[in-house]
Amino acid sequence: MRSLVEVTLRVNGIDHEVAIAPWRTLLEVLRETLALTGTKRSCGEGQCGTCTVLVDGKAVNACLYLAIEAQGRDVRTIEGPPQGDPALAEIQRAFAANGAVQCGFCTPGMVMVTRALLAGNPAPNEDEIREALVGHLCRCTGYVQIVEAIQDAAGRLARQEAH
Amino acid sequence: MSQLRRLPKFEFVGPRSLAEVCALTAEAAAGEVLLLAGGTDAILQMRRRERTPRRVVGLKGVRDLAFVRETGEGGLAIGAMTTLAELLAAPLVRSRYALLCETAAQIGGIELRNVATVGGNVAGALPCADLPPALMALEARVKLSSRRGERWVPLDEFFPEFGRTAARDGELVSEIGLPRPAPGSGGAYLKFHDRHSMDMTVVGVSACVTRDAERGVVRDLRLAFASAAPTVFRARRAEALLRGAALTEQALEEVAEAACREADPRTSWRANREYRQALVRSLTKRAIGQAWAKAAANEGAPS
Ligand SMILES: Cc1cc2nc3c(=O)[nH]c(=O)nc-3n(C[C@H](O)[C@H](O)[C@H](O)COP(=O)(O)OP(=O)(O)OC[C@H]3O[C@@H](n4cnc5c(N)ncnc54)[C@H](O)[C@@H]3O)c2cc1C
């Protein structure tokens, strides 16, 4: 079987030419080939949300997505683009300010789903926030501070917009 | 930690059109090719080595299978590669097929709904899949396509046995078709599971009721169940008991009892057979009650 395939993966706005085996998941390629280890690997079956990245602006589990199928799409990870992503940075500040991070393992996934949520719904109510977090597990803080961080992030981004 | 294992080796093809997919499936021997839609079931099946295909046909780039549109007869056509998120966002689905929205919204979290497809939920033939009961209660048909052409199969004849569908010889699911709901009808899907979210269905019941407003009776009832037998199924004998009848406590008890007799649930670590039977009994009554109330609310609505 001819195993390696040359593909171009656009991650955080940068095109990477990589030779990958077709059976590698996006999560494996991000972490092991591109050394983008901010995206975490945990359950490997779509239950925990730690591997959440954005593909064409939509939150997906990178453990359930073949890297080869991300070709021609826009992949965004917690590392963000080199020039920075002000919204992503603001969400991260809100998480830190609200004590929403303890061990930090679930945080990249939580931040990425928040990025997608706020892009489509700049002022979500608590139910909408909790609904967005359904596929995310946190075993340290509980979810109260995380919900508060997301509310705070929404407020911060709205103020940014107003400027 | 078997779930962290790599996937088995395979060759990948990414066709761009239905015709290309049909050409690829036509040449393949059984088990040799795996169709990968959203992959939310298939990737896990491969990781567990339940499936080790030589070739994976990725369908994400087949855009002519991703659509939601009104048919000439005023019904609904859903392309197999429509994601659950796309289904939930479609204006026609929101306005006319509230039951589908109610059901799809109960599947997984947003990350799952962004990739999991309608076709994958149906073609996977899992008894615990949530869309098939709702689609069955809405009298869905499945379009199967292959290089030989296409044919339609009613969804309630689509699952001959556990884990199998009526598709054969290179056929794939290309479309799901729904008739326009009758005026004065309403539907409900009740999914019982341990956690509030992200959990497989222990028992799911979908009911569609059409009211006869003048006589105050049930004109039509359709009932379909998830995780209550080796396949999703329609409880036709139970349905028949209520057609033309008033919705009394007594009548509901009899329908629920009949549904229990048609069900054949299994015992698993999630729940035993008796527990599932009890769920079928109580959820059937509740689902019919809710569907009836929605049908009443929809009366006079232009649907
Ligand atoms: C964390 C998690 C939670 C879940 N929660 C739920 C839930 O609440 N309810 C629920 O119903 N499901 C649930 N699922 C199961 C799964 O996500 C759904 O069944 C989903 O709709 C499958 O669609 P897919 O596009 O991902 O299918 P895939 O995984 O791509 O395919 C599933 C099967 O169908 C075949 N197939 C796919 N498309 C076609 C086609 N067009 N023609 C012929 N064969 C085809 C594939 O070859 C495969 O055998 C969950 C899964 C996970 C990982």
Q: pLDDT band at residue B133, thresholds of 50, 70 and 90?
A: very high
Distance between A39 CA and the closest CA of chain B, angstroms: 15
Tell me the chain A residues in contact with residue B3 when contact means C-beta distances shorter than 8 Å: 43-45
Nearest Cβ partner for A52 among B12, B43, B111: B111
Task: Evaluate whether the domain defined by B8-58 bears CATH number 3.30.43.
Answer: yes
Residue A161 is predicted with a pLDDT of 82
Lowest mean pLDDT among B27-36, B143-152, B158-167, B172-181: B27-36
B268: which residues sit within 8 A by CB, 6+ positions away? none
Strands B141-146 and B149-154: antiparallel
pTM: 0.96
* Cα B13 off chain centre by: 27
- What average pLDDT does range B175-201 have in this prediction? 90
CA count, 13 A, side-chain hemisphere, B40: 28
In angstroms, the Cα distances linking B277 to A67, B29, B258, B271 are 43, 40, 11, 10
Q: Enumerate the residues of chain A whose CB falls inside 8 A of the CB of residue B44.
A: 45-46, 64
Tell me the residue length of chain B: 303
CA distances from residue B53 to B11, B30, B44, B49, B228 in whole angstroms, order as listed: 9, 10, 13, 10, 30
Q: Is the pLDDT of residue B3 over 70?
A: no
- Chain B residues touching residue A25 (CB < 8 angstroms): 7, 43
Residue B188 pLDDT class (50, 70, 90 cuts): very high
Residue B29: per-residue pLDDT? 81
Is the distance from the beta carbon of residue B204 to the nearest atom of ligand 1 less than 6 Å?
Answer: no
Q: Which pLDDT does position B199 carry in this prediction?
A: 77
From residue A121, how far is each of A51, A112, A136, B165 by CA, in Å?
22, 14, 19, 39
Q: Are B111 and A2 in contact (CB < 8 Å)?
A: no
Distance from CA of A133 to the nearest CA of B (A): 8
Q: Kindly report the CATH class assigned to A86-162.
A: mainly alpha
Q: What is the 3-state secondary structure (H, E, C) of B73-118?
A: CCCEEEECCCEHHHHHHCHHHHHHCHHHHHHHCCCCCHHHHCCCEH
From B87's Cα to the closest Cα of chain A, the distance in A is 15
Is residue A29 within 8 A of residue A9, CB to CB? The reply is: yes
| Interval B19-46 mean pLDDT | 94
Q: List, for residues B87-132, the tens digit of each pLDDT value.
A: 999 999 999 999 999 999 999 999 999 999 999 999 999 999 999 9
Residue ranges per structural domain of chain A: 5-76, 86-162
Tell me which fold the domain B187-298 belongs to: Enolase-like; domain 1 (3.30.390)
Q: What is the per-residue pLDDT for A163?
A: 74
CATH topology of domain A5-76: Ubiquitin-like (UB roll) (3.10.20)
A46 close to ligand 1 (CB < 6 Angstrom):
yes
What is the DSSP annotation of B138-183?
Answer: TT-EEEEEETTEEEEEEGGGS-SSTT--S--TT-EEEEEEEPPPPT
The highest-level CATH class for domain B63-178 is: alpha beta
Residue B303 has pLDDT above 50, yes or no: no
A/B interface, count of CB pairs below 8 Å: 100
Helices vs. strands in chain A: H and E counts, helices first: 5, 5
The answer to whether A132 faces chain B, any CB pair under 8 Å, is: yes
Amino acid at B213: A
Question: Of the given ranges (A72-76, A120-124, B63-67, B190-194), which has the lowest mean pLDDT?
Answer: B190-194
Q: What is the pLDDT of residue B1?
A: 46
Residue A150: φ, ψ to 5° = -70, -40
Q: Which residues of B touch A2 (CB under 8 A)?
A: 11
Instruction: Give the nearest partner residue to B115 out of A22, A43, A60, using CB atoms.
Output: A60
**Residue A1 CB burial class (10 angstroms; 0-12, 13-18, ≥19):** exposed
Mean pLDDT by 10 residues, chain A (163 residues): 88 98 98 98 95 98 98 98 96 97 96 98 97 94 93 96 79
What confidence tens digit (pLDDT) does each residue in B237-295 have? 999 999 999 999 999 999 999 999 999 999 998 899 999 999 999 999 999 999 999 99
Ligand 1 pocket residue status of B117, Cβ below 6 Å: yes
At B222, which helix (H) or strand (E)?
strand B217-226
Q: State whether residue B65 is helix, strand or coil.
A: helix
CA atoms within 13 Å, Cβ hemisphere of B257:
7
B122 C-alpha vs ligand 1 centroid, how far in Å? 8
* Cross-chain Cβ contact A60/B111 below 8 Å: yes
The residues spanned by each domain of chain B are 8-58, 63-178, 187-298
